[in-house]
Structure 1
């Protein structure tokens, strides 16, 4: 996963401030909370929610569809 400070998903262009496609899990912390989400393109994101607002601090790449370890699924 790579850190991000962008305002849109680098994989599909979905705005970071928009509602995520899917909420995977939520965890409360002393400072606010952490929300794991999945973008419409499949990218897993870690969102931190605290007094400063919401920001994406890490995100993965979308999963390759139809392949596994570089080999087509059969």
Structure 2
């Protein structure tokens, strides 16, 4: 369905798009902060640190993919 510029539907679509892009940026930023904490502030065995970093990577990828899927559903 085509949305006409200036309509309520158009602005709803644009707001959704911007919110999801911001969500992606926040996910990346939070994941980076957690990674730094795990690498430099978290005192533990190196094997546990590696496992936590792998889990963090998987979790952030999963959340980013979910956000991308939501973005793809918004018509251009």
The TM-score bracket by the shorter chain reads under 0.3
Asked which structure has the greater RCO (Cα within 8 Å, sep 6+), the reply is: 2
> Which structure has the larger Rg?
2
TM-score (norm 2): 0.23
TM-score when normalising by structure 1:
0.23
* Structure ranking higher in helix proportion: 2
